[in-house]
Amino acid sequence: MPEYKAPLKDIHFVLNDLLAFDLHYRALPGCEDATPDMVSAIIEEGARFAERVLAPLNQTGDKEGCQFDNGNVRTPTGFREAYQQYVEGGWPSLSHDAEWGGQGLPDSLGMVINELTSTANWSWSMYPGLSHGAMNTLEEHGTDEQKQTYLTKLVSGEWTGTMCLTEPHCGTDLGLLRTRAEPNADGSYAISGTKIFISAGEHDMADNIVHIVLARLPDAPEGTKGISLFIVPKHLPDANGAAGERNAVSCGSIEHKMGIHGNATCVMNFDGATGYLIGPPNKGLNCMFTFMNTARLGTALQGLAHSEWGLQNSLTYARERLQMRALNGPAAPEKSADPIIVHPEVRKMLLTQKAFAEGGRALIYYCSMLVDMTKHADGETRANADTQLALLTPIAKAFLTEVGFESANHALQVYGGHGYISEWGMEQNVRDCRISMLYEGTTQIQALDLLGRKVLMTQGETLKSFTRVVHKFCQAAEEDPKLRAFTGPLAKLNREWGDLTQQIGMKAMMNREEVGAASVDYLMYSGYVTLAYFWARMAQAAQLKLAAGEGDAAFYRAKLTTARFYFERILPRTRGLVETMLSGASNLMELPEDQFVPE
């Protein structure tokens, strides 16, 4: 049976040795209460909850799935009880404003806890995970009355939240949505339409579900400029603020899916349901991006989660499974064969998972620091953090989920035929991971957003907000001979990143299809370079600790070894991506549609 052990040593390495979270919190107004002792205690308690409560339910959720009965959904055994423990522990309120019942701690600390719960049991973690996006949307765009009515209940965990965007005829292209919002005499709206693929849209874990819904007003203009945002609760609040009368919103069915069986993916029907406008009319998409950006970073975390979970279990298996002898002679002569971890190709699969898990952790925690700055800092610091976050969010979401899926497949491969058998949990990890590249915008959509909107439409200024950070790091470390193996290649790639952007931009001036043709390769290239920056920084942090004779020397030497593996075995993938992204749109667009399968 697969197991999960919270990687506390690596988490503290990233927080303390790499990113200096204690200094970060002290520098931000409102974050001073997050002292090192408090942060450590919270993380350790979160680790216990993840390991002891959530991880044992992971396979249960996959095997049982959710049960649908006449509009009601029953979650797998233990899910509801685990959620009650989660609420009683105060976890939903951790990083939300004290004014609305939160504990007022930084978002970045909440991200660490989310990693623990997500890796232990992704399907379960989606129920409270969707609520955080709903909370952020209400906190930023809701009225005080809406916050008092809905936000306080979401923050406490008494109620959960969803986001309702997709419709049967439209996915990413929200300009096509048809859900209607008719004004009522009392200032509310009657919401009518059908939404699909709604994660946690119906369940038995909380008393009420607050749906955040996109719909059109009667006089709305066509396209994305005519979309408004609404609160539509499953139960209308009564005079005391509790869940009261049932609203005209129902679950029509739940999907039968490849993975994440423990989370209900619902078809939601709104039949004149009472809803309340959030934000200005026809500006719903702008407001919804608060939710979407939260969800995209949360999905980036899924890539890390499946890498970490697969690594832990496949490493255990590789140490125990006996198969053949090492090529240089028996490594364990007292045994009938050697453990498969002695074989180079097995080690490559394990090191690839390790490089992506630990590199991904550094990237996500860095992004969470930027989120803190956008909420608590002022002036240039806040503006720069917001710009960097705009660039790094699509990279984190798409790149980390792509390599997370690669890692999950490596974990299965380490097991050989046993990986294909459900009892070991590897095939579940692959199935659960596959959705991460699809929801919250596919890899292809994220790539268009990155290259087209974030980089080219800003004439490269958004890209420079991060490449300047990389340049300054390489420049400051260029005199250190122990780091040249990292800073030399990184500095060269950082310059090339800007040059490639310019070349694609020039080609796109003649043919706009060049952006779409290059976008995914450009995003993956960007991801490899971004992770190289964090691995170079981790190598530096490890060398400083070794030079000072502090901490676990074996741990820091492993960091250096993994950094070298990343630079020598993974980073060279960028060479092929340069060739393909510059090869042009013609090799994709010339073939007539009717010739894909000639008759």
Active-site position among 115, 358, 402, 440 = 440
Phi, psi angles (nearest 5°) of residue 195 = -115, 145
Which DSSP state fits 337? S
Burial of 497 (0-12, 13-18, 19+ CB in 10 A): buried
Residue identified by tokens 């000639």 is: 598
Gap between the Cα atoms of 320 and 339, Å rounded:
6
328 CB neighbour count, 10 Å cutoff = 7
Count of positions (residues) in the chain: 599
Query: What does each C-alpha distance from 581 to 81, 518, 586 come to in angstroms?
Result: 49, 4, 12
Phi-psi region of 379 (alpha: psi -120 to 50; beta: other; left: phi over 0): left
Describe the crossing of helices 426-434 and 379-414 by its angle, rounded to 10 degrees. 140
Q: Examine the residue annotation and report whether 440 is marked as an active-site residue of this protein.
A: yes
Give the containing element (helix H, strand E) for 254: strand 249-254
Kindly report the number of other CB atoms within 10 A of residue 510's CB atom. Answer: 8
For residue 351, give the nearest of 494, 524, 491, 560 by alpha carbon.
Answer: 560
Q: Are strands 228-233 and 208-215 parallel, antiparallel or unpaired?
A: antiparallel
Cβ neighbours for 372, distance < 8 A, ≥ 6 positions apart: 24, 28, 31, 106, 107, 108
Which amino acids are annotated catalytic?
440
